[in-house]
Amino acid sequence: MIMAKKIPVLEIFGPTIQGEGMVIGQKTMFVRTAGCDYSCRWCDSAFTWDGSAKGEIRQMTAEQIWERLCELGGDRFRHVTISGGNPVLIQALEELVSLLKNKGIRVAVETQGSRWQDWLYDVDDVTISPKPPSSGMETDFAMLDRIIDKLVGAGRASHVSLKVVVFDDDDFAYAKMVHKRYPNISFYLQAGNDDTKETDVTALREKLLAKLEWLVEKVAQSNELNDVRVLPQLHALLWGNKRGV
Amino acid sequence: MIMAKKIPVLEIFGPTIQGEGMVIGQKTMFVRTAGCDYSCRWCDSAFTWDGSAKGEIRQMTAEQIWERLCELGGDRFRHVTISGGNPVLIQALEELVSLLKNKGIRVAVETQGSRWQDWLYDVDDVTISPKPPSSGMETDFAMLDRIIDKLVGAGRASHVSLKVVVFDDDDFAYAKMVHKRYPNISFYLQAGNDDTKETDVTALREKLLAKLEWLVEKVAQSNELNDVRVLPQLHALLWGNKRGV
Ligand code: SF4
Ligand code: SF4
């Protein structure tokens, strides 16, 4: 008997809505995997990689994840988002993606674009979110080129988007550079959440919307960012920095 | 010499972002036409049809509208949204849509779905927003069927979405019914803005987000609304009930 491969899972929750990016607002379930090859300064899910939630990680098979999704979501979902951490570290997600597709479920993934897995070909909504200077990380553009070439070459262009989180002017310059490098890939700018520790939701909302307004104004003034979309994180506006919503 | 047809225009503004629906966040210019065949109880642009802004209506040719767009937007736009009122009352928009397409501009339109114009075939993002019971209006479903059949028949399905604004439980039931009638058309639920007179932006934000949370919860609990998207109006969150932003 072949042992099904295990996937390190930190949270499974939903139904809720996708808060950001190319399928913003989409009713979805979330599967959050553990582990990241980055350590962004402002990471809003640092518990996936900084050891603070180590005890919560469960090694699950694709089948077990499906059972848990059905337990929580019943017949009330047709879309699953796999997030992290960086899910693209995990080869074993191949089994989950293929199981979900067989069940008629649409699948979304978000990754920073530092790794490749063949199962990305089967994902309906691939959000690649290279990290701007404020993250403290370095983008491997050779790898990013390779990922985008593979997906575009396989006719998956309409299933891919790029999303850059913007906190400051340097990030904004980085966003312009990324959009210029991949002009034919749907491009999203996202207003950054400076304050992942803020617990007063009203105060956080005001800050996030002020940041969004600033970003909209920057984009409006630029002639290098014309066919782009600018979005907030809806889940942060709705629920603040809470986990599992 | 053939006289170019005139289009009744109330506002031209931008660049800004599209606040709602299928291209939420998209950088765009707005052209708002005057006149509506409906009079929704909670209309957030009643000045387009209630006579209060009558003196601001300008009769413009497509060419004049283009000049004004360029004056405001320079080389900083590739997308124009035509909104109202109900722009689909205006046959002469054919000339504007065709001019914009020739300039390489993507065009979006929003209408309640009470009328047809052949120029809808050429619009990139058609949002059809039939009005729920709280509006006080009656939907002409025979007309809605006809509009959707025409667009789908012409291979334009991916360019069309349905959007229902939801204020209360009756509206929610109506939304489910509309989605069931057109299961293959992208479907958006939008949290209604009860209070188009509220001038305190912080208070309005709290109300709008409470409404969005309520709607997300309703959708999460329903097994008839699985492949749908739930969205707020970003412009109302950002700028409250102000015009021209
Ligand atoms: S790539 Fe994402 S999960 Fe990883 S550290 Fe950065 S923000 Fe956090
Ligand atoms: S259809 Fe739109 S513009 Fe016309 S009255 Fe209703 S909400 Fe207002």
Q: How far apart are CA B84 and CA B123, in angstroms?
A: 15
Mean pLDDT, residues B163-178 taken together = 98
Q: How far apart are CA A163 and CA A142, in angstroms?
A: 18
Give me A215's structure tokens.
Answer: 């970003």
Q: Using CB atoms within 10 Å of the CB of residue B231, give its burial: 0 to 12 exposed, 13 to 18 middle, 19+ buried.
A: buried
Cβ–Cβ below 8 Å for A238 and B227: no
Give me A1's structure tokens.
Answer: 């008997």
Mean pLDDT, residues A95-122 taken together = 98
Question: Which CATH number characterizes residue B138's domain?
Answer: 3.20.20.70
Q: How far apart are CA A119 and CA B76, in angstroms?
A: 38
Residue that wins the pLDDT comparison between B42 and A197: B42
Residues in chain A with CB shorter than 8 Å from the CB of B74 are 223
pLDDT bin (cut points 50, 70, 90) of residue A239 is very high
- Domain enclosing residue A152, as ranges: 7-239
Which helix H or strand E contains A156, and what residues bound it?
none
**Of the candidates A178, A98, A165, A177, which has an alpha carbon nearest to the alpha carbon of residue A134?**
A165
Cβ–Cβ below 8 Å for A230 and B75: no
Tell whether the model's pLDDT for residue A1 goes beyond 60. Answer: no
In a domain, A122, yes or no: yes
Can you tell me whether residue A41 is helix, strand or coil? Answer: coil
Report the residue from A17, A76, A205 with minimal CB separation from B223. A76
User: Tokens 């900083």, residue?
Assistant: B76
Total domains, chain A: 1
How many angstroms separate the CA of residue A238 from the nearest CA in chain B?
6
Mutate which of B237, B239, B242, B245 to test chain A, going by most A C-beta atoms within 10 A? B237
pLDDT bin (cut points 50, 70, 90) of residue A101 is very high
pLDDT tens readout for residues A201-223: 889 999 999 999 999 999 999 99
Cβ–Cβ below 8 Å for A24 and B23: no
Report the residue from A26, A75, A225 with minimal CB separation from B223. A75
- Around ligand 1, the residues with Cβ closer than 6 Å are A 36, 38-40, 43, 45, 48, 84-86, 112, 131
Cβ–Cβ below 8 Å for B223 and A74: yes
pLDDT bin (cut points 50, 70, 90) of residue A245 is low
Cα A156 to averaged position of ligand 1 atoms, centre (Å): 24
Tell whether the model's pLDDT for residue A241 goes beyond 80. Answer: no
Q: Are A41 and A133 in contact (CB under 8 A)?
A: no
pLDDT tens readout for residues B120-138: 999 999 999 999 999 999 9
Instruction: Kindly compute the dihedral angle of the four CA atoms of residues A51, A56, A60, A66, in this order, to the nearest 10 degrees.
Output: -120
In a domain, B69, yes or no: yes
Residue that wins the pLDDT comparison between A3 and B110: B110
pLDDT tens readout for residues B62-82: 999 999 999 999 999 999 999
CA-angle at B135, arms to B133 and B140, nearest 5°: 65
In a domain, B2, yes or no: no
CA-angle at A91, arms to A89 and A95, nearest 5°: 135
Pocket test for ligand 1, best of A112, A144, A167 (most atoms within 8 A of CB): A112
In a domain, B170, yes or no: yes
pLDDT bin (cut points 50, 70, 90) of residue B233 is very high
Mean pLDDT, residues A74-97 taken together = 98
Q: What part of A 79-108 touches B (C-beta under 8 Å)?
A: 79, 106
Mutate which of A107, A127, A172, A229 to test chain B, going by most B C-beta atoms within 10 A? A229
Neighbours of A9 (CB within 10 A): 21
How many angstroms separate the CA of residue B79 from the nearest CA in chain A?
7
Q: Measured on CA atoms in the order A151, A157, A159, A160, is the torsion positive or negative?
A: positive
Predicted confidence at residue A89, as pLDDT, reads 98
* B157 touches A: beta carbon within 8 Å: no
A132's CB contacts (< 8 A; 6+ apart) are: A164, A165, A166, A167, A170, A171, A174, A175
pLDDT tens readout for residues B47-57: 999 999 999 99
Predicted confidence at residue A242, as pLDDT, reads 75
In a domain, B71, yes or no: yes
**Across all residues in chain A, what is the average pLDDT?**
95
pLDDT tens readout for residues A128-158: 999 999 999 999 999 999 999 999 999 999 9
Cβ–Cβ below 8 Å for B226 and A106: no
* B225 touches A: beta carbon within 8 Å: yes
In a domain, A26, yes or no: yes
Cβ–Cβ below 8 Å for A24 and B216: no
Predicted confidence at residue A138, as pLDDT, reads 97
pLDDT tens readout for residues A173-194: 999 999 999 999 999 999 998 7
Q: How far apart are CA B98 and CA A44, in angstroms?
A: 45
How many percent of chain B have pLDDT more than 70? 98
**Across all residues in chain B, what is the average pLDDT?**
95
Peptide bond into A133 cis (omega under 30): no
In a domain, A2, yes or no: no
Q: How far apart are CA A138 and CA A141, in angstroms?
A: 9
In a domain, B130, yes or no: yes
Q: Are B15 and B97 in contact (CB under 8 A)?
A: no
Q: Which residues of B147-185 are buried (b: 16+ CB within 10 A; e: fewer)?
A: bbeebeeeebeebbbbbbbbbeeebbebbbebbeebeeb
Instruction: Return the residue of B nearest to A190 by Cα.
Output: B25
Instruction: Return the residue of A nearest to B229 by Cα.
Output: A26
Q: Are A215 and A166 in contact (CB under 8 A)?
A: yes
How many angstroms separate the CA of residue A50 from the nearest CA in chain B?
30
Nearest C-alpha to atom 7 of ligand 1 is from which residue? A43
Give me B139's structure tokens.
Answer: 């939907």
The answer to whether B59 is annotated as binding is no
